[in-house]
Amino acid sequence: MKEQQQNAQTEIRRRIITRIKELAAQKKLLKQSDFLSEQLAGEMMYGFEGVYTRSEYDDLVTGIFSELLQKKRERTEKPIEQPQGDSNIVIEVKNLEKVYEMQAESVHALRGISFSIERNEYVSVMGASGSGKSTLLNILGCLDSPSSGDYYLGGENVSGMNDRQLAEVRNRKIGFVFQTFNLLSRASSLHNVELPLIYNGTPSSMRREMAYDALNKVGLGERVQHKPNELSGGQRQRVAIARALVNNPQIILADEPTGNLDSKTGDEILDLLDEVHRNGNTIVMVTHEAYVADKTHRVIYLKDGIIDTDRLTYNGEKKNNKTNVDRKYR
Ligand code: ADP
Ligand code: MG
C-alpha cells in the first residue's frame, strides 16, 4: 500500500515535469500559477485522485518549479571562477578579428590578432589612428565581442558569451578608464565610484566604505561630494580610476587616459597608474604618445588591424632582465 502510494507520487511528479518541459520546448509562457489551476491539477492527478491533498499538490508544484529553475540557472550561467591552475596568463587572444558591418561596406578593424599577457604586466598599445587600438581594448574589456577568434580572460573563454554574461565578467574582472572619463555628471564622486558595486549587489554599508577607500587611494578623499563639473580634468580622471579600482579587478584597461589632459596633469595620472601597477594590477593602456608608452614595460604596435611589433621597452627589459625580445606574431 505504501509502495503504491509512492509510485503514484512519482508518477504525478513525472507528469508535471514532462508537461513543464513540453511547454518550455514549445516556448509557451511557463507560469507556476497555470499549474496550480484546478484543471491542470485534475489532469496531472488523473487516475491517482486522493494521493495528494490540494495544498500538498501546490507545494509539490512549487518545489518542482524551483528545482527546475535552479537547474536552468546552473546550465545557462557558465561557472564563474574557473580554476586557473598555476598559469600566470591573465589575457590570451587567438586570431581575433573584428568586422564592423556598415551599410555600404564592411570595415575590417582587426585582422587576426594573437598575444598573451601575464599577471602584473604593464602593456601599452600603440598605432596610427584607425589601426584598431580602441576596438582591441573594447574587446579585451568585454565591452564588445570579436567577429571571430578566441579570448580567454583568466582562463575563461569569453568570446562566445552573451551581453549579460559579458557585463558580469566585466564587472568582476575589469576596471576600464576612458579618455573622456565617462562619469555620471549629476552624481557625486562617491556615487560614481559606488556604481560598479551597485551593479554587483554589494550591500550599501560596504559600498560606502569601499568607495571612500578607492577615492582615498587616488587622493580624492576630500572631494567625495563633488560632482564632475566641480572637479578639474585630472581630478575627474582620478574619480574614473577610483571607479575602475573599486572592485579590485584583475585588470585595468585604459584608452588614452591622458588624452584629454595637459601634460602635467597627464603625468600625475601616469604616476597613479604606475602605483596601481606596483600594487600588483595588470594594466593595458592605449596611447599614441611614445613617452607614455616608454613608461610601460611592453608595447604592442598595431598597423591596419594586425600586430606590427610586440616588444619590451627599456623599463620592461630592466624589470625582466632580458634582452629585447621581439614577440612578433604573424
Ligand atoms: P583606433 O582606436 O586605433 O583609432 P579604432 O579601433 O577606433 O581605431 O577603429 C579601427 C577601424 O574601425 C577604423 O577604420 C574605424 O573607422 C572603424 N570603426 C571603429 N569603431 C567602429 C564602429 N562602431 N562602427 C564602424 N566602424 C568602426
Ligand atoms: Mg581609439
Which CATH code is given to the segment(s) 89-320? 3.40.50.300
Q: State pLDDT tens for residues 209-238.
A: 999 999 999 999 999 999 999 999 999 999
102 Cα nearest atom in ligand 1: 25
98 Cα nearest atom in ligand 1: 12
198 lines ligand 1 (CB under 6 A): no
Q: If you take atom 21 of ligand 1, which residue's CA is the nearest one?
A: 100
25 lines ligand 1 (CB under 6 A): no
pLDDT tens, the chain, 330 aa long: 778 888 888 899 998 888 888 877 776 656 777 777 788 888 888 888 888 888 888 888 888 888 877 777 776 665 444 445 557 999 999 999 999 998 889 999 999 999 999 999 999 999 999 999 999 999 999 999 999 999 999 999 999 899 999 999 999 999 999 999 999 999 999 999 999 999 988 998 899 999 999 999 999 999 999 999 999 999 999 999 999 999 999 999 999 999 999 999 999 999 999 999 999 999 999 999 999 999 999 999 999 999 999 999 999 998 877 554 555 443
Task: Output the CA–CA distances (angstroms, integers) from residue 264 to 128, 240, 268, in the order listed.
Answer: 24, 18, 7
Count other Cβ atoms within 10 Å, centred on residue 227: 18
Assessment of whether the complete model's pTM goes beyond 0.75: no
Cell numbers for 69, please give them: 529553475
* SS3 call for 242: helix
Name the residue ranges covered by the structural domains of the chain.
2-76, 89-320
Ligand 1: which of 97, 100, 139 to mutate, most ligand atoms within 8 Å of CB? 100
Q: How far is the CA of 130 from the centre of ligand 2 (A)?
A: 7
* SS3 call for 282: strand
Distant-in-sequence, close-in-space partners of 151: CB < 8 Å, separation ≥ 6:
91, 92, 93, 94, 96, 139, 140, 157, 158, 159
Count other Cβ atoms within 10 Å, centred on residue 184: 12
Q: How far is the CA of 101 from the centre of ligand 2 (A)?
A: 18
